[in-house]
Structure 1
Amino acid sequence: MALRGTFVRLFRKQLSNIFRQQKCAHSVAIIGAPFSKGQKRTGVERGPGVIRDAALIDRLSSMDYPIHDFGDLSFTHLAKDEPFMHVPFPRTVGLANKVLAGAVSSAVGAGHTCITLGGDHSLAIGSVQGHYQHCPDLCLIWVDAHADINTPLTSPSGNLHGQSVSFLLKQLQDKMPAVPGFSWVKPFLSSSDLVYIGLRDVDPGEHYILKNCGIQYFTMRDIDKMGIQRVMEVTFDHLLSRKQKPIHLSFDIDAFDPALAPATGTPVNGGLTYREGIYIAEEIHNTGLLSAMDLVEVNPTLGASREAVEATASLAVDVIATSLGQSREGAHISFDKLPSPNMAYKSENEQKVYL
């Protein structure tokens, strides 16, 4: 069995290498989604701004990607939006996600790798739906302290940022009431195409759903026990061993330990270390299959200091850049681009320099 598992991993790696070689040099689309009505704390709508201010565009541009920054979307907060059951702002959240789905669909359809900057995690309903319109066989990797798979009937808070996955999952169709504002959403995701990493705050209803639907998930205890390398191996074996599929990465900054990412709305102690989070992003990039990504829940109003906000935003940029190929080995250039003694001279007024 161990030999077979090794063979499967090597075969998958070969296929991924072929995929990367055949794939044209891709471009990156950046979409800001300044939205906060999926939960009750204000400030998370400023997340896209502080992530941009942490030199996101400069970092990605230095990686030689064509960058298409489409700016921030404009969302309408409906004045008359009565709660549904105990779910606040259902129509506003539904409309915002419909707008985002259209933007992500356009970006993916144009051949870009699409990066959505949140905003709260309810936005994943729209980003994954928009991605699905062009990649119906996608798989979803959800990196988060929380499962976000409550339904309106199981959610303790009613907040839609804790219910995103339930709108997408086919296995929950008969458990979901008709939430106003979401009639356009089509549940398409199979439980076998979903993996969670980093869970450590799961509600009772969510735990039942995870177990009953047979969803693959890794808690922080699993990461402690198995190690992050093995977690990623099992993740890819689960999602990609039968078929190479486009990957949608939905990354909540609260997956990290609050010591690293303090400026977020629902921090939970005992989260990912920097190295674990970056390793996840590196391994996803190495598949050559990342097609769209969300980076959500950076809330600058919840940082105790400017340094706390900057640390959280900088961490978000690191995750995005690593997912797109930034390496801890340093920047790489082709060997034939190295300077030679005959290439490098300064101006006639400066000392001649040989490299």
Structure 2
Amino acid sequence: MSQVSKFLKSQSVSVIGVPFSGGQPRGGVEEGPCRLVEFGLLNQIEELGWAVDYEGNENITALQPKEDPDTLNLKQPKYVSAVTQHVSKQIYQSAKEGKFVLTLGGDHSIGIATVSGVFGAYPNACLIWVDAHADINTPASTDSGNIHGCPVSFLAGIAGDHPDFAWVRPLLKTERLTYIGLRDIDAGEKKIIKDLGIKAFSMHHVDKYGIGKVVELALDHVNPNRDLPIHLSFDVDALDPSVAPSTGTPVRGGLTFREGHYICEAIAETGLLVAADIMEVNPTLEDTNSVYQTVQVGCSLARCCLGETLL
């Protein structure tokens, strides 16, 4: 098969599991990566013609500090910071070596790590964030204090100074960011998106234009000449709960099975995709069938990012 990205140096993928739930209060999402791997994801990727190396980060809980008080409104900031800084170095290293980086979460606070690592290696990259939620709350605007709702604000340099996240560099220019699938956005986030002129496609736009047009418009905005590396961060709660029920913050009215896969297929087809995140699979929520269905979808989205097509 042909190389998925013009920017990769080899047909190699670095799969990085981040079994982490510290960015939000519900346990179980830390089991997402190992369930995707148990389901055979690494073999499935090899069958697509890739050389695979895997880092499971099974001992990541060792980074949890003994004390981690709420700081500037954020919960568990020291833990989230330690994990994301650790993982960002792994991602940067793999991206720098010219490998495709596939990160399996864990909660979406890990986006701080994935974008920091990928954009460290590809400073001119663009980010397509597929999610029901905008995850761009600042420490000042978040109601919950859960950091999985804040990663984009740190990456874009609008979070303000936070003592625990001084290491995060504002590598993400807001004109290089676009959202697809939004449908549950806090008032503070709506204001941030409007004030900064961030290009966002909600489910209203998907209904209005169809997914093919939405992906094209998103790419036209962040990558008009189709010559920049692309990082795709995909939260499975972007999908309708009927498609991916086992996730921590499901919201009705999401992407269909095909719409979710189309996004991954169309972006892979550009030959510009260098990294993808599959986030927020929580195998402890819902019944066995729901978990199986969600894990299966997580694996098939990852395969589409790596070049699997229907024909």
Are 2:32 and 1:50 aligned? Answer: no
Indicate which of 17, 28, 31 corresponds to 1:32: 17
On the 8 A contact 1:119/1:298 being kept in 2, the answer is yes
Letter in 1 for 2:12: S
Are 2:62 and 1:79 aligned? Answer: no
Distance 2:298 2:215 in 1: 20
Aligned residue pairs: how many?
Answer: 308
Are 2:48 and 1:66 aligned? Answer: no
2:218 corresponding residue in structure 1: 235
List structure 1 segments (4+ residues) > 4 angstroms apart after TM superposition: 17-25
| Structure 1 residue 245 displacement after superposition | 1.0
SS at match of 2:300: helix
TM-superposition CA deviations, 1:73-100 (whole Å, max 9, x none): 5321111111113311001101100001
On the 8 A contact 1:232/1:283 being kept in 2, the answer is yes
Indicate which of 156, 176, 190 corresponds to 1:207: 190
On the 8 A contact 1:73/1:100 being kept in 2, the answer is no
On the 8 A contact 2:73/2:140 being kept in 1, the answer is no
Distance 1:243 1:285 in 2: 12
With the length of structure 2 as denominator, give the TM-score of the two structures.
0.95
2:151 corresponding residue in structure 1: 164
| Structure 1 residue 22 displacement after superposition | 8.7
1:312 corresponding residue in structure 2: 294
| Structure 1 residue 277 displacement after superposition | 0.5
Superposition RMSD in Å? 1.7
Map 1:81-96 → 2, pairs under 5 A? 81-96=68-83
Distance 1:312 1:294 in 2: 15
TM-superposition CA deviations, 1:199-229 (whole Å, max 9, x none): 0000000000111100001100110000001
Are 2:212 and 1:225 aligned? Answer: no
Letter in 1 for 2:13: V
Map 1:1-355 → 2, pairs under 5 A? 25-72=10-57, 74-75=59-60, 76-170=63-157, 172=158, 176-242=159-225, 244-303=227-286, 305-329=287-311
Distance 1:248 1:263 in 2: 24
Distance 1:66 1:165 in 2: 31
Q: Give the number of the structure with larger relative contact order, counting CA–CA contacts within 8 Å between residues 6 or more apart.
A: 2
1:337 corresponding residue in structure 2: none
Q: Percent identity?
A: 42
Distance 1:51 1:288 in 2: 25
| Structure 1 residue 246 displacement after superposition | 0.9
| Structure 1 residue 71 displacement after superposition | 2.5
With the length of structure 1 as denominator, give the TM-score of the two structures.
0.84
Give the direction of change, closer, same or farther, for the CA distance of 1:23–1:162 in structure 2 (3 Å limit): closer
Letter in 1 for 2:75: P
On the 8 A contact 1:90/1:179 being kept in 2, the answer is no
SS at match of 1:300: coil
Distance 2:181 2:27 in 1: 25
SS at match of 2:164: coil
Distance 1:88 1:20 in 2: 37
Moved more, 81-90 or 148-157: 81-90
Letter in 2 for 1:232: V
On the 8 A contact 1:258/1:268 being kept in 2, the answer is yes
Letter in 1 for 2:111: A
Distance 1:264 1:19 in 2: 28
SS at match of 1:140: strand
Q: Which runs of 5+ in 2 are unaligned?
A: none
Give the direction of change, closer, same or farther, for the CA distance of 1:261–1:21 in structure 2 (3 Å limit): closer
SS at match of 2:294: helix
SS at match of 1:282: helix
Give the direction of change, closer, same or farther, for the CA distance of 1:22–1:81 in structure 2 (3 Å limit): closer
TM-superposition CA deviations, 1:215-264 (whole Å, max 9, x none): 00110011000000110111111112146111111000100000111110
Give the direction of change, closer, same or farther, for the CA distance of 1:187–1:62 in structure 2 (3 Å limit): same
Distance 1:243 1:53 in 2: 36
SS at match of 2:26: coil
